[in-house]
Amino acid sequence: MAEKDCPKLRPVQVGSDYQNGQHLLILSDPLGLTENAIALPANLAHLLNLCDGTRNIPTLKSALELRTGMVLSIEYLNKFFALLDNAFLLENKRFDKAYRDAVSQFRAAPARSPIMLGTSYQENPKWIERQFQEYIDQLPVQRQRASRQSTVRGLISPHIDFQRGGCTYAEVWHRAAQAVRSADLAIVLGTNHQYAESMITLTRQSYATPWGIVPNADDIIDTLARELGDGIFSYELNHRMEHSVEAAVTWLHFLTKHGKRSPRIVPIICGSLTRFIEGDISPGDDENISRFIDIIRTATSNRRTIVIAAGDLAHVGPAFGDGHIIDQAEKLRIGDSDRELITLITNGDAEGAFQLVNEENDRRRICGLSPIYLTLRLLGETRGEVTGYAQCPADQQFTSLVSICGIVFS
């Protein structure tokens, strides 16, 4: 890079590691433009925080020295930013071209390819069928019987990996099986874990699973695009690396793969509600969200529709940046807080659920809040039934956890 250039760091994925006693930051591209990750000394976080596009390299050098006393040479900084640039971690023309090329390739592909293959399940369809069926067979007999009388309008499913969440997935999807098989349409709302200014991100790409392609409801997507504008595709590439919708669609396809018909889907990943938590207004007052709800309700009024939220609950402990471990007493307290939130959700109280998380300043990092909130808004007056709840380990010592639940709405 030229010294006159003003480096601006993109939204990147940051991990942490220790090698030979040295604390390292691991930077990677959440969009998958490159598989290369960059390991940096943790003290360079101060430099990264200064990379907002307003300072050239000499100015960055001076600002870093002034704020931290750290002295880095211009030669070192040039190599540092060249490393970031080669990994497409800077916002510039090189990244813009790579991004446009990736979007074109994504849209030209036959379908959106599964990314959970090899991590959450194997590619062999028979293997995952056996895996899912084993989860179902482990359910108590009385729950298996209840599932045959389901009249479900919506559900909340986890999006954690199947190994940790298998029983919770099985409980909610088996309970909703009859409704899923009889539906014409499934609105699938998943968490968008990547950066997006848009609350709603669509794709015209159908999702592939080990059993083939689950077709989209193109007419609904066309209606949303016509009414809301092409901005709903601005962050479409996020679908490529986002697993939340995929987790739900995989279970949906598992239940319907042998039937004569399968519901068409509308795959939507949902941006964060952080701006409402940090701001002065509720998402209930947001005109764009209300308009989205009205459009979906109108477009689906004459179809048998099921609404699916693919979202987890709390993310707490050192694995998520907390300075304390989660011991047994804290796990019980988190469970109590989760149940308070779940009670509001089962009452169909979208605004109440948001306000509870807002009052806590989202200290438990409820990453499924957006899809759950939108699902409740779409369903309107409804009552939910909890099918399962679990606290899953997020590190080897179980000092961090992710909590998940399954809920069906009638």
CATH of the domain at 140: 3.40.830.10
**Domain shared by 217 and 143, yes or no:** yes
CATH of the domain at 95: 3.90.930
pLDDT, average across residues 146-152: 61
**Domain shared by 145 and 287, yes or no:** yes
Class of residue 267 by CB neighbours under 10 A (exposed 0-12, middle 13-18, buried 19+): buried
> Residues of the chain with pLDDT > 70: what percent?
96
Residue 184 lies in a domain: yes
Q: What confidence score (pLDDT) does residue 142 get? A: 60
Residues 6+ apart with CB under 8 A from 217: 185, 264, 265, 266
Do residues 293 and 354 touch, judged by C-beta distance below 8 A?
no
pLDDT in tens, 233-250: 999 999 999 999 999 999
pLDDT, average across residues 190-202: 94
Q: What confidence score (pLDDT) does residue 150 get? A: 56
pLDDT in tens, 8-21: 999 998 888 888 88
**Domain shared by 315 and 376, yes or no:** yes
pLDDT, average across residues 184-201: 95
Residue 7 lies in a domain: no
**Cα 167 to Cα 131, 158, 181, 393, 404, distances in angstroms:** 11, 10, 20, 15, 11
**Domain shared by 75 and 126, yes or no:** no
pLDDT at residue 253 above 70? yes
**Domain shared by 305 and 390, yes or no:** yes
Strand ranges (DSSP E) for 257-342? 264-270, 305-310, 315-316
Residue 3 lies in a domain: no
**Mean pLDDT, the chain, whole residue set:** 93
**Domain shared by 87 and 190, yes or no:** no
Reported as a pLDDT band with limits 50, 70 and 90, residue 281 is confident
Q: What domain range includes position 299?
A: 116-409
**Domain shared by 92 and 152, yes or no:** no
Q: Which two tokens stand for residue 206?
A: 């159908």
Question: Quick check: helix, strand or coil at residue 112?
Answer: strand
